């Protein structure tokens, strides 16, 4: 039987998005605590639009922020993967790595494990450099960037977040593969 996953880590399976992901994904994106370091929680429609955008990105580039499940249980963990950033900055356009996981799975090493595996996948795709960025106040995400071997570049004012001063500055990290 074929695996439903594009690739796996020790505890996680990475796959493309299915319509059945929407309820769990929308619930995660609607949670104010999960979305603390984003502009605002997402509506169900906003979550669907993000899933659609990831499907297009995967079709165009062979990578996206993947739907991630816990191996064994098949429970939806969240999204971890590779995206693209094209806002105006000295380091763009670029491939970035990011994650958003359900709160009940925080502090269990899933983000670091999944992000490390996605960096291996990036290397398999021939990507030579990956960036990651988050609000400097998002200590958990900054810690993941450090744990997966990324190097701090600098803090910057994100041009798409100028109306959200609570999220500024953003910290930029990079790894060469």
Q: What is the pTM of this model?
A: 0.96
DSSP conformation class of 163:
T
Rounded distance, CA 52 to CA 31, Å? 20
Per-residue confidence (pLDDT) for residue 2, from 0 to 100: 73
Report the candidate in 79, 99, 95 with the shortest Cα–Cα distance to residue 37.
Answer: 99
Per-residue confidence (pLDDT) for residue 1, from 0 to 100: 56
Domains observed in the chain: 7-176 (3.40.630.30)
Per-residue confidence (pLDDT) for residue 3, from 0 to 100: 82
Rounded distance, CA 11 to CA 74, Å? 10
Per-residue confidence (pLDDT) for residue 50, from 0 to 100: 98
177 residues of the chain, pLDDT tens digit each: 578 999 999 999 999 999 999 999 999 999 999 999 999 999 999 999 999 999 999 999 999 999 999 999 999 999 999 999 999 999 999 999 999 999 999 999 999 999 999 999 999 999 999 999 999 999 999 999 999 999 999 999 999 999 999 999 999 999 999
Angle at 55 (CA atoms; ends 51, 61), nearest 5 degrees? 135
Report the candidate in 21, 19, 25 with the shortest Cα–Cα distance to residue 46.
Answer: 25
How far separated are the first and last CA of the chain, in Å rounded?
A: 33
């Amino acid at each position: 039987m074929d695996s439903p996953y594009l690739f796996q880590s020790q505890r996680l399976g990475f796959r493309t998005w299915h319509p059945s992901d929407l309820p769990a994904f929308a619930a995660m994106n609607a949670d104010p605590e999960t979305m603390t370091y984003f502009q605002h929680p997402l509506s169900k429609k906003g979550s669907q639009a993000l899933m659609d955008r990831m499907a297009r990105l995967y079709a165009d580039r062979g990578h996206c922020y993947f739907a991630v499940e816990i191996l064994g249980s098949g429970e939806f963990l969240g999204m971890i993967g590779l995206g693209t950033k094209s806002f105006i900055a000295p380091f763009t356009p670029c491939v970035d790595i990011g994650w958003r996981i359900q709160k009940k799975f925080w502090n269990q090493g899933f983000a670091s494990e999944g992000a490390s595996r996605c960096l291996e996948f990036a290397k398999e795709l021939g990507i030579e450099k990956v960036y990651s960025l988050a609000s400097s106040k998002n200590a958990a995400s900054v810690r993941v960037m450090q744990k997966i071997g990324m190097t701090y570049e600098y803090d910057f004012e994100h041009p798409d977040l100028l109306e959200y001063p609570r999220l500024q500055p953003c910290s930029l990290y990079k790894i060469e593969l």
